[in-house]
Structure 1
Amino acid sequence: MLRLSTDSSSPNSNRPNINQEASELAPRPTSIQDTGIQESVLLELMLKHLLNGGVLTKSQLVKKMGITGGIIQALFDKAKGLAWVENRQSTADGQMRYALSESGDRYAKQASMKSGYRGLVPVPLAQYSTICRMQSSRRNPITFKMLQNALKALVLPNDLLHKIGPALNSSRPILIYGPPGTGKSYLCRNLNATLGDTVLIPYAIAVGTEIIQVYDPQLHHAVDNAIELDQLDLVKGHDPRWIECKRPLRITGGELSAEMLEVQFDSHSRTYMAPIQLKANNGILLLDDLGRQRISAKQLFNRWIIPMEEQRDFLSMQSGEHFEIPFELILLFSTNLNPKELVDDAFLRRLGYKIHFDALDEPLYRKIWFQVCEEQRLSCSEEMYQHLLNDYHLLLEKPLIPCYPRDLLGIMADQISFMELKPVVTKALIAEAWSIYFVQG
């Protein structure tokens, strides 16, 4: 749990483990007080689950709320004292079943009008902040050998690794810029492999009596060994309100808007959803195609001046209540545009690391070309490669951009399949692929 793999084949097998055992980091609460959540919030959540489920057993509520049977029983006792819950006929295996009374039904509906959240019991904001900072990837520095091993499937110049590695270990944002097709986004999408370990992500956090859902199954990939909730086992495993996941990688591009940086309230479901930076905490947030978002680069940097410099962000609820969260992530910006045309020098200085991507030298381009040939199961002679190099790239002054081999050979493979040709790169195939891929005139 939360330990890095010791398998020597793992890209980070030599990376020291700084994470505590999950059960130590987030011990399972055994009382209402241990949850850190107000009793009234727990009661309302339980009543909403009963309203939605009709008649439920204690074990069913354990799974729906992520707290032990002992805590559920304490909530039942309180709800019965208020005449909100009634006993129903037991199941065949002897489990007591519970349902709302008439007054409990009214109260549950009132609670649902105020907040539509029905999920696991949230964790308190203070606990979230503490655990988030303890899981910082920067507590576990990356070395050159680790980065090289993690990205060994990619063809990258060593000088680029020497720039990327220290940037990942720093607390400063990283700007990656250069012409299209030079591998900026591709590299960023693979950087998560260098982190390798797992972290605890809360299903939801509580800010006072309000609840914000954080866990997103499309972003947070839970590990296979997640512990089943068991009301009889009050000791084994970590707090089930936290889900063990791979470190998140959140990618956003032209769809990014100012609203996505703030807590969002869905008036239809009456629930709060976390902004992208909160969901990406303890992982990587990549803002691809900087300068093409619905929010301008200047507005974005103005919004994140404090988070980028102090590693903390300030958010607010619909009620106007403000609160602080950690800004504990690796922040990457990628752009094809000239950075000086996006923001002024003061903002560029705040970015810390600015890494330029450009065309490859011939040996690296060759390596990619023949690597893609192998992947596509195409045969390419040295003569054909030199023909491509001299009669197309050099003659037509096309730089050796990393994306060209995959794109050109992909077109050739399509032509071969369609025309039922032998899987061999020829002059005719090169000419056809080149004319299709590049805009003429």
Structure 2
Amino acid sequence: MRLSTDSPSINDSKSSNKHNANELAPRPTSIKDTGIQESVLLELMLKHLLSGGVLTKAQLVNKMGITGGIIQELFDKAKGLAWVENRQSSAEGHMRFALSEAGDRYAKQASMKSGYRGLVPVPLAQYSKICRLQSSRRNPITFEMLQNGLKALVLPNDLLHKIGPALNSSRPVLIYGPPGTGKSYLCRNLNATLGDSVLIPYAIAIGTEVIQVYDPQLHHAVDNNNESAQLDLVQGHDPRWIECKRPLRITGGELTAEMLEVQFDSHSRTYMAPIQLKANNGILLLDDLGRQRISAKQLFNRWIIPMEERRDFLSMQSGEHFEIPFELILLFSTNLNPNELVDDAFLRRLGYKIHFDALDEPLYRKIWFQVCEEQGLSCSEEMFQHLVNDYHHLLEKPLIPCYPRDLLGIMGDQISFMELKPVVTKALIAEAWSIYFVQA
């Protein structure tokens, strides 16, 4: 986790992250230290044996994310209940274990209640504590940090002065403006500004129920989390927590009301975390606000308390309710009129409303020639002025940031097809313009 607003070297940053991870989530050394009921741990071990057949202690350490000492405690308990049997040692001399007939029956019964077979979950209380300690707001972003993080983007300075304070705020942020002005593109790059890593639990326990949180499609681990775990205590943080880059979850028109709640898969009999829980300690971007399957009004009604109090309330299929931190940067992006989406009371709750618009000519020029260089195209200043004066100004088309990449992309396709020199000409501009813009 980032300790200060200084810009440490990459190696220093990794060292700090590793040090903090060890302090935040020390490796448990006993069943009590895991914070999980012994019965839950036993059932999970039996389910792993049920699916794995015959396993060594080392294999169970990797599958469950707890030390060999704790596994041995569980083995002793299971053997006392006649659920586990010793099998012939492996070629390497490692003792192997399998379910007895009674253990097989019990494991199948446990699987009917819950199909979860992953790492040992972490208790909800521990998750809530660590999640709040990892808040990005504990280390405020400065102008220099934002400028460095977004240096690959061409942005007006006044926009940076609005975005930076918004990221440090605890309030949601609405970014609005015409299509193609770079709203979504900017949001997708904001994680580069945060730059540090956080601990994400593989799963959390709500009583005896387990919700999987870690999603490999969203959470990008910064290392392999020590796949070859040792049987005894080793240095490092609790492997039930995976060190990842701060998550960036983007959802658009596919968003439904169900995605905001804990989801139960009746086939696998497992619970999956809602999008806001997966995005905790990172950024959640709701793109194209107003085009979701849930209305903007329904969405804001659902999140009134989370947006104001930074805590959310969820429930399990059993009806059990619980509270989780709502510790994320919440961004809304839309090209619709905000006043037509929600009323003034909701807009007030959003806190920051940042308008994106067309660029001035110097910034548009910078993007144009930047894209030319990326695509290996040569363009004279005369051709650029021809585009601006005889097309944008004459036809009253604003200088929108997405136009250079789109227009030059079409020109590149024309050049490849016609086997022309990679040079922007009046003819190519005319052809690209007529293809890109719908004629009145």
TM superposition score normalised by structure 1: 0.97
- The one-character-per-residue Cα deviations of 1:283-328 (angstroms, maximum 9, x if unpaired) are 0000000000000000000000000000000000000000000000
Distance 2:226 2:328 in 1: 26
Question: Which residue of structure 1 lines up, in the alignment, with residue 189 of structure 2?
Answer: 190
Would the aligned equivalents of 1:43 and 1:75 in 2 still touch at CA under 8 Å?
yes
Could you tell me which amino acid in structure 1 is paired with residue 136 of structure 2?
Answer: S
Report matched runs for 1:89-100 at 5 Å.
89-100=88-99
Q: Equivalent residue of 2:188, what SS?
A: helix
Aligned twin of 2:368: 369
Q: Return structure 1 stretches of 4+ with deviation > 6 angstroms.
A: 1-10
* 1:382 Cα offset (Å): 1.0
Matched, 1:125 2:124: yes
Give, in whole Å, the separation in 2 of the partners of 1:60 and 1:244. 21
- The unaligned stretches of length 5 or more in structure 1 are none
Question: Conserved in 1, the CA contact under 8 Å of 2:82 and 2:100?
Answer: yes
Contact 1:57-1:98 at 8 Å conserved across structures? yes
Give the structure-2-normalised TM-score: 0.97
Alignment-mate amino acid for residue 196 of structure 1: G
Alignment of 1:18-417 (within 5 A): 21-224=20-223, 226-417=225-416
The answer to whether the Cα contact below 8 Å between 1:18 and 1:139 also exists between their aligned partners in 2 is: no
Q: Deviations over 1:94-149 (max 9, x none)?
A: 21111001110000000000000000000000000000000000001000011011
CA separation in 1, counterparts of 2:4 and 2:217?
Answer: 23
Give the conservation status (yes or no) of the 8 Å contact 2:5–2:141: no
Q: What is the rounded CA distance, in whole Å, between the counterparts of 2:339 and 2:24 in structure 1? A: 44
Give 2:292's aligned amino acid.
Answer: Q
State how far apart, in whole Å, the 2-side matches of 1:336 and 1:74 are.
58
Q: Do 1:3 and 1:19's aligned partners in 2 also have CA atoms closer than 8 Å?
A: no
Contact 1:2/1:22, CA 8 A, preserved across alignment: no
2:2–2:17 CA contact under 8 A, matched in 1: no
Native 8 Å contact 2:57 2:231 kept in 1: no
Conservation of the 8 A alpha-carbon contact between 1:181 and 1:401: yes
Unaligned runs of 5+ in 2: none
Letter of the structure 2 residue corresponding to residue 418 of structure 1: F
1-structure distance, mates of 2:373, 2:269 = 53
| Structure 1 residue 93, shift from structure 2 partner | 1.9
Deviation at 1:369, TM superposition (A): 0.6
| C-alpha contact (below 8 Å) 1:2/1:20 kept by paired residues | no
How far the C-alpha of 1:226 sits from its partner, in A, is 2.6
Contact 2:176 2:353 in 1 (8 A): yes
Cα 1:27/1:220, change in 2 over 3 Å? same
Q: 1:81 to 1:225 in 2, by over 3 A?
A: closer
Letter paired with 2:316: M
SS of equivalent residue, structure 1 residue 118: coil
The alignment of Structure 1 onto Structure 2 pairs a total of residues equal to 439
Q: Is the 8 A contact 1:22 1:238 kept in 2?
A: yes
Q: Deviations over 1:37-92 (max 9, x none)?
A: 00000000000000000100100000000000000000000000000001111112
Q: Give the conservation status (yes or no) of the 8 Å contact 1:125–1:207.
A: yes
Give the Cα separation in 1 of the matches to 2:145 and 2:18: 18
| Letter aligned with residue 260 of structure 2 | L
Task: State whether residues 62 and 229 of structure 1, in contact with CA within 8 Å, keep that contact through their aligned partners in structure 2.
Answer: no
Label 1:258 to 1:31 Cα distance change in 2 as closer, same or farther (>3 A): same
Distance (Å, rounded) in 2 between the aligned partners of 1:115 and 1:69: 24
Q: Is the 2:17–2:197 contact (alpha carbons within 8 Å) kept by the matching residues of 1?
A: no
* Counterpart contact for 2:68–2:232, Cα < 8 Å: no
Look up the equivalent residue of 2:350 and give its one-letter code: L
How far apart are the structure 1 equivalents of 2:223 and 2:9?
19
Mapped contact 1:178–1:337 kept (Cα < 8 A): yes
What letter matches 2:56 in structure 1? T
1:430 alignment counterpart: 429
Aligned to 2:189, what secondary structure does the other structure show? helix
Q: Is the 8 A contact 1:44 1:108 kept in 2?
A: yes
Cα offsets for 1:339-366 (capped at 9, x unmatched): 0000000000000000000000111111
Contact 2:313 2:321 in 1 (8 A): yes
Equivalent-residue separation in structure 1 for 2:99 and 2:320 (angstroms): 32
Letter in 1 for 2:381: E
Q: State the AA in 2 paired with 1:327.
A: F
Q: Distance in 2 between matches of 1:4 and 1:414?
A: 47
